[in-house]
Chains A and B, each alone.
Chain A
Amino acid sequence: MLIGVLALQGAFREHQQALAACGAESIQVRRPEELEKVNGLIIPGGESTTIGKLMMEYALIEPIKYRGEKGMPIFGTCAGMILLAKEIEGSEQPRLGLMNIKVRRNAYGRQVDSFEEDLNIPVLGDDPFRAVFIRAPYIMEVAPGVEVLARHEEKIVCAREGTFLAAAFHPELTSDGRLHMYFLNMVKKSIA
């Protein structure tokens, strides 16, 4: 099993480290050829407009969409979640649009309002999950069929739709590997 981490911009190194800590092998993906080798893809945090433009310019949107539609699991964190969303409030920026969710960018305000807090994520067990939110988005609306995995003060901050997983926070910045393990199990099931 090989996991790709989209390495156009952002915290891709931290995701690779988190995957390694979970015992999973990963490669950086910048080209369609690299995408062909992987069984699952992580889209990291970073600047969603930057990543989206580079995805479009270097012909990655269609191949990722194709693989996603064919059942390859994709996990998006922060900017990655924005790029997975079908709808981005007030924005026409490039995206994959694979998940039936509507997101709001910079939903908590500017960097001075960035924060960390313990979240309750029932699918990961009873222990709280330390979540780091950086100029974070949240999910405003989900379509039927989207499973809400976590909320922060009523706002949806983690969700799953079939083989797609999205988090508004950064599991790659803390040492808690449970969300990465959860995704790795999704990948395992998809290739079984």
Chain B
Amino acid sequence: MGEKGTWAVKKGLAEMLKGGVIMDVTTPEQARIAEEAGACAVMALERVPADIRAAGGVARMADPTVILRIMEAVTIPVMAKVRIGHFVEAQILQELGVDYIDESEVLTPADEQHHINKHAFRVPFVCGARNLGEALRRIAEGAAMIRTKGEPGTGNVVEAVRHMRLMMAGIRRLQNTPREELMAAAKEMGAPYELVVQVAETGRLPVVNFAAGGIATPADAAMMMQLGADGIFVGSGIFKSKNPAARAKAIVAATTYYNDPKVLAEVSKDLGEAMPGLEIAAIAPEQRMQDRGW
């Protein structure tokens, strides 16, 4: 029946997620709360990033049982994470039938030199990036969706903002670069020339670009959207807060009505306490998840 796993189909699902919120969940109950709140997809995990950070040690792909239970609980797409470079964890997730794989810096990398060859898979991949060059490297490897890395599990939006601004500045710079200078720009960014030319011509990434890594409030989500994100990932921000259902619903509304301060003011009321935040400077350099992968 038809052609499966084509680029149009992989990239297409990300297009359908746009303007939506993808929420980290660890149980079927949380998945149902997320779906009920209006999440456009969920990320099935054993632990949210804040708990992974607190636990330390090696973080791996979730137990398939956890993922399968969440897949049974909801009708919206279910994503799951693999370690950077761990192509066998990816083969397992594809076999389980997850809808999207996140090759994620939240887990402990399995390969410090090479990311997964994502073209080899029928299931689409999303990857984190801190700047345009990194985003284009992942796209060249087959990622059909990009998200900023931010600093996961912190409830601190500052790194997500930094990465989104760097990405957008990179795009604007290429748009104003004369054709004969694009090869040098490609060399400098460490990105494939063809993709650099494409971004220079179209003024946008070739795939959807979400914001992730530290988003904890409706205002955070709307700010990332105003900075140019196509949609929002919320990791620990929902289920580490005092009232997950209300906060989840408010972040969904803030992502749709990101340009409407009246709605933003309304949905920001009475949400209870947000997740406890972490100052980035308080995190030891070797504990910074965003520096995993290149």
Binding site for B on A (CB under 8 A): 7-14, 30, 45-47, 49-50, 53-54, 57-58, 78-79, 91, 105-106, 108-117, 132-135, 153, 170, 173-174
Contacts and interface: CB of A to CB of B under 8 A. Distances in A.
Nearest to B39: A50
A91 B35 CA distance: 13
B12 A49 contact: no
A112 B101 CA distance: 11
B9 A7 contact: no
A109 to B, nearest CB: 8
Contacts of A134: 9, 12-13, 16
Given A114-B12, A115-B1, A47 B18 contact: no
Given A46-B20, A50-B39, A132-B9, A9 B256 contact: yes
B118 to A, nearest CB: 14
A112 B5 contact: yes
- A-B residue pairs, 3 tightest by C-beta: A115-B2, A117-B2, A111-B99
Given A111-B124, A114-B4, A10 B9 contact: no
B256 A113 contact: no
Nearest to B79: A111
Contacts of A106: 75
Nearest to B9: A114
Nearest to A78: B16
22 contacts: A9-B20, A10-B15, A10-B16, A46-B17, A46-B20, A47-B77, A50-B252, A54-B252, A54-B256, A58-B253, A110-B98, A111-B77, A111-B98, A112-B5, A114-B4, A114-B12, A116-B2, A133-B2, A134-B12, A135-B16, A135-B99, A173-B8
B252 A132 contact: no
Nearest to B94: A112
A158 B181 CA distance: 48
Contacts of B13: 111, 114, 134-135
A9 B19 contact: yes
B9 A50 contact: no
Given A9-B40, A47-B16, A112-B4, 9 more contacts: A8-B19, A9-B255, A30-B256, A47-B20, A110-B97, A110-B99, A116-B2, A116-B9, A135-B13
